[in-house]
Structure formats: C-alpha cells, structure tokens
C-alpha cells in the first residue's frame, strides 16, 4: 500500500471517528440538557429562582406545582393563576394550559378551549412533548381529555408517559380516572397503582383518592383509620374536595367519631376554597351546632299558673323519662342532604342573589316558585317575604301558610302578624295568638314579643 493510499485511508477513518465523537457529544448534550431543563429534576428553590428571573417555562411549571400541590406545596389556585398568567404572556405552553384548566373549572368553557387552542397552535407545547417533557405530556393529555372533540385513548397515553417520568400530578390524575371510570373502564387495580405512587410523593390528589379507596373498600380492604389519615393529609394541603369530604365525615360520623365543631371548621375551609356544596353543608351544620350550644328558649304561656321552680322540676322529670341522650341526638344527628335538596338550596341562593344584586324581583320570584312548588319551606318563606314587602298580602299568606304547615318558625310568626294586623285576612286576635304561640314553641323568640302585644287586645 503506497503512502498516498494510506494517508487517504487514515483521513477517512479520522473523519468517521470525529463524526462518532460529535454524535456522542450531541446525544450527551441532549441528555443533560433534558435532564437539567426538567423542573422535576431540580430543587424547588431553583424552579422558583428561574421563574422569578422571567423564564416562561419555569413560571408555567411553578403554576402547575401550585395548582396541584406538587413538591410539598399546598394547593393555591391564586398563586397558580399568577404564575400561569406571567408564563402565558410570553406564550409559555404550561402557563396557557394551566389557565385553560382553571377557566374550565370555573365554568368558563369558551375561554378554556380558546386557551388550549392557543397553547396547541402558538406555543412550544408540541416540541416539548416530542422531547418527552413530563409536564408538557401531562398538559397535552389533559387537553385531549378536556377540549372537544375528546380523545381519551390519546389522553391516557400522554398521561401514562408523563406519569412514568415521575410527574405525581399525572399519576394522581390517572388514579382518579381509573377510580371513577371517566372515559375508561373502571379499574381499581390500576387506580390503586397510580394513587399509591402519587400518595408516596405526598401529592394531595393521590392521597385523597387513596383515602377514598380505603373508605369504600374499592380494590383494597376497607380501613376507616387509613382512609381518614390519607384524606386528612390531603385536606391539610388545601385540597378542597378533601376538606369537604373530611368535614362531612366528621359531621355524620362516617368512619370517624362525630365532631360538629371540627366538621364546621373543615367545611368553612372548603367553602373559602370555592366549593358551593361546602357552603350549603356549612350553613346546615352551623345551625345544628348553634342549636346545641344555645337550645331554644322554652315558651311559657302567660296563663301558666305554676311557679318557675315547679315548671323547671316538671321539665327535668320529663327529660329523665325521655332519655336526655335521645333529645340531644335530635339536634346532633342531621338528615342526609340529597342531591335534589342540595340543588334546591343552590337555586334559592341564586334567586336571592338575583333579588339583592340584580334587583330583579320578577326573576327571583320565578326561581323561588319553581322550588316552593316542590314543597321547599325556605323558598316558600322567601316568596312570602317578597310579597309581604310589596303589600300583596293575599299572595304572602299563601306562601307563608305553605311553610307554616312544615313548622317553619318565621312563617308561623308572619301568619300571626297577618291576622293581628288584618293584612289579607279578617282581623282575628285569637288566630294571631294561635300562630304566634306555634312560632314561639318552634323557637322563634321574636314571636313572644308579638304575643304579649296581642294578648292585650282580647
């Protein structure tokens, strides 16, 4: 082999070696850049620092962390929205997707779908997902699931890819999906697998659904102690659904000793978090707690001739005979609120908002009438009050009477007032006395004042 041929041979070999080293360098560079540009592989302080310096990707990541309680953070939707907005202003994919999800959760579907479209068309979401970024894969999965036309098969594939890369929110979301059977066949084994992995990272949603699995014995042996522990851990990280569930368990004694004071505390937190169901339940159990702390005064008719000591002694004897624990239970054991009654109370709140904020009496009346016609005493009473203020006493009497038949104290009192003043009915002091006495016996202390006045007239 001549020297010229050997030189050419070594040049070719050298070129190949250089190409191999260059390829290895690119692969290594890609590996380390993907490793160190992934917020999941970095300390929370680093993520926060980069977000503060204006990096839209890290701002979006921090928004996701706050929204779901990642990395030991509590769930904080305000902080999530703040960071997501900063990211979205620079067309950050994670920020746009977080804002889209928040909008959908608040019932702003058009806004949410628009933001998802913006993320898909005008951000780096797809390039991040192709690079196997776990946060981008999660966002792409939720987009497929939340944004019509829905593609659950594709969504699950993206979420699983994100979950396998260690994103706890994706793991918890998969657990929720398979636990509830949303868009897929319900599978307790898969649900427990993902919930357990997310709960192991102290993810609020993962801990909550693991607690629910223990609560009902779904795919795992029922264990109330484990259930309450996991749900309490999620509630302590400000997950609203966990706070509501824990409050209801404490209120009803479901798997835990009943404690109305603690129940009200957790329901109050959930209501501050925006849960309308929690607001409804909070009002109910606050009333129960108030009745326990301040039992209604015993009404004593003026014609009662016995002295106070004798009356008290008779009442004490009656309490012993009827077992005091049963009497307390009448206040402490709340009736179950059905979905139907919950919806009715939501409509009543909506009607009162229309009346007081929108100042639209007719619309409020229409809403209340639809509920009152089903026998709801609160709606009937509110209608009665509206008509009474309009001096339409015949209509007021009609609705007050419906509530009074269900022993609504305030309606009983207004029935007495109508007869006392002859409003919409013939003036009748005896009838007024009857209605006001019933109101007082049902705990309306205001009625006792009217009674004293009425008795002076006959």
Q: Residue 368 maps to which CATH number?
A: 1.25.40.10
Both tokens of 174, joined, read 């998969």
Both tokens of 390, joined, read 């309009």
What is the predicted pLDDT for the residue at 324? 42
What is the predicted pLDDT for the residue at 332? 36
Of the pLDDT bands very low, low, confident and very high (cuts 50, 70, 90), residue 418 is very high
- Residue 276: inside a domain, yes or no? no
Roughly what angle, to the nearest 10 degrees, separates helices 276-293 and 240-252? 30
- Residue 225: inside a domain, yes or no? no
Measured over the CA atoms of residue 237, residue 241, residue 247 and residue 252, the dihedral's sign is negative
pLDDT at 45 over 70: yes
Among candidate residues 166, 196, 231, the one where a domain is terminated? 166
Both tokens of 404, joined, read 């009074």
pLDDT at 130 over 80: yes
What is the predicted pLDDT for the residue at 443? 75
Number of independent structural domains in the chain: 2
Q: Nearest 5°: phi and psi at 91?
A: 60, 30
Q: Compute the average pLDDT of residues 260-272.
A: 93
Mean pLDDT, all residues of the chain: 83
Closest CA to 179 of 205, 160, 143, 161: 205
Of the pLDDT bands very low, low, confident and very high (cuts 50, 70, 90), residue 30 is very low
Q: Which domain holds residue 366?
A: 357-457
- Residue 383: inside a domain, yes or no? yes
What is the predicted pLDDT for the residue at 68? 97
Closest CA to 364 of 137, 21, 372: 372
Range of 82-91, 287-296, 387-396 with top mean pLDDT: 82-91
Dist CA 188 CA 407 (whole Å): 47
* Lowest-pLDDT choice from 7-16, 126-135, 256-265, 402-411: 7-16
Among candidate residues 141, 166, 191, the one where a domain is terminated? 166
What is the predicted pLDDT for the residue at 17? 56
Dist CA 276 CA 386 (whole Å): 25
- Residue 384: inside a domain, yes or no? yes
What is the predicted pLDDT for the residue at 327? 32
- Residue 295: inside a domain, yes or no? no
Q: Residue 63 maps to which CATH number?
A: 1.25.40
Dist CA 202 CA 190 (whole Å): 19
Both tokens of 202, joined, read 């102290």
Query: Are 210 and 245 in contact, with CB atoms under 8 Å apart?
Result: no
What is the predicted pLDDT for the residue at 28? 44
* Lowest-pLDDT choice from 43-57, 333-347, 409-423: 333-347
What is the predicted pLDDT for the residue at 452? 78
Q: Compute the average pLDDT of residues 180-202.
A: 93
Q: Compute the average pLDDT of residues 154-175.
A: 97
Query: Are 252 and 337 in contact, with CB atoms under 8 Å apart?
Result: no
Among candidate residues 150, 166, 182, the one where a domain is terminated? 166
- Residue 387: inside a domain, yes or no? yes
Q: Long-range contacts made by residues 368-375, C-beta under 8 angstroms, separation at least 24? A: 371/344, 371/347, 372/399, 372/402, 374/344, 375/402, 375/406
* Lowest-pLDDT choice from 28-32, 256-260, 414-418: 28-32
Whether the model clears a pTM of 0.75, i.e. scores above it, the answer is: no
What is the predicted pLDDT for the residue at 14? 52
* Lowest-pLDDT choice from 3-12, 48-57, 211-220, 300-309: 3-12
Q: Compute the average pLDDT of residues 128-154.
A: 95
pLDDT at 236 over 50: yes
pLDDT at 234 over 60: yes
- Residue 443: inside a domain, yes or no? yes
Both tokens of 299, joined, read 């009404």
**What is the secondary structure of 393-426 as a DSSP string?**
HHHHHHHHHHHHTTT-HHHHHHHHHHHHHTSSS-
- Residue 391: inside a domain, yes or no? yes
Dist CA 119 CA 140 (whole Å): 9
């Amino acid at each position: 082999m001549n020297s010229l041929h050997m030189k050419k041979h070594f040049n070719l070999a050298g070129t190949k070696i250089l190409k191999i080293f260059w390829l290895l360098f690119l692969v290594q560079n890609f590996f380390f850049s993907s490793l160190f540009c992934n917020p999941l592989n970095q300390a929370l302080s680093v993520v926060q620092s980069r977000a503060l310096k204006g990096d839209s990707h890290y701002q979006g990541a921090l928004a996701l962390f706050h929204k779901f309680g990642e990395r030991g953070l509590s769930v904080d939707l305000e902080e999530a929205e703040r960071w997501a907005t900063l990211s979205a202003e620079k067309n950050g994919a994670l920020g746009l997707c977080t804002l889209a999800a928040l909008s959908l959760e608040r019932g702003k579907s058009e806004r949410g779908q628009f933001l998802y479209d913006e993320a898909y068309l005008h951000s780096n979401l797809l390039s991040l997902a192709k690079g196997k970024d776990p946060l981008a894969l999660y966002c792409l999965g939720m987009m497929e699931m939340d944004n019509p036309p829905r593609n659950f098969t594709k969504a699950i594939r993206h979420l699983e890819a994100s979950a396998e890369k260690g994103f706890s929110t994706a793991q918890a979301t998969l657990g929720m999906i398979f636990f509830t059977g949303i868009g897929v066949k319900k599978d307790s084994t898969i649900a427990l697998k993902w919930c357990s992995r997310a709960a192991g990272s102290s993810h609020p949603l993962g801990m909550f659904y693991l607690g629910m699995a223990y609560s009902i014995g779904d795919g795992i042996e029922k264990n109330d102690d484990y259930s309450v522990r996991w749900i309490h851990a999620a509630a302590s990280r400000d997950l609203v659904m966990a706070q509501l569930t824990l409050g209801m368990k404490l209120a009803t004694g479901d798997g835990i000793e009943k404690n109305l004071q603690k129940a009200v505390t957790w329901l109050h937190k959930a209501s501050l978090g925006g849960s309308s169901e929690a607001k409804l339940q909070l009002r109910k159990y606050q009333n129960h707690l108030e009745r326990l702390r301040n039992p209604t005064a015993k009404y004593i008719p003026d014609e009662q001739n016995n002295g106070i000591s004798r009356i008290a002694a008779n009442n004490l004897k009656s309490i012993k005979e009827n077992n005091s624990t049963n009497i307390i239970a009448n206040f402490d054991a709340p009736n179950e609120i059905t979905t139907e009654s919950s919806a009715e109370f939501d409509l009543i709140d909506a009607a009162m908002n229309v009346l007081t904020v929108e100042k639209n009496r007719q619309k409020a009346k229409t809403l209340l009438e639809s509920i009152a016609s089903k026998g709801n005493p609160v709606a009937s009473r509110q209608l009665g009050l509206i008509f009474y203020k309009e001096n339409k006493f015949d209509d007021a009497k009609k609705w007050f009477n419906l509530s009074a038949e269900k022993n609504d104290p305030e309606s009983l009192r207004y029935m007495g007032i109508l007869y006392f003043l002859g409003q919409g009915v013939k003036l009748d002091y005896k009838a007024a006395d009857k209605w006001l006495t019933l109101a007082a016996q049902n705990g309306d202390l205001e009625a006792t004042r009217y009674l004293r006045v009425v008795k002076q007239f006959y």
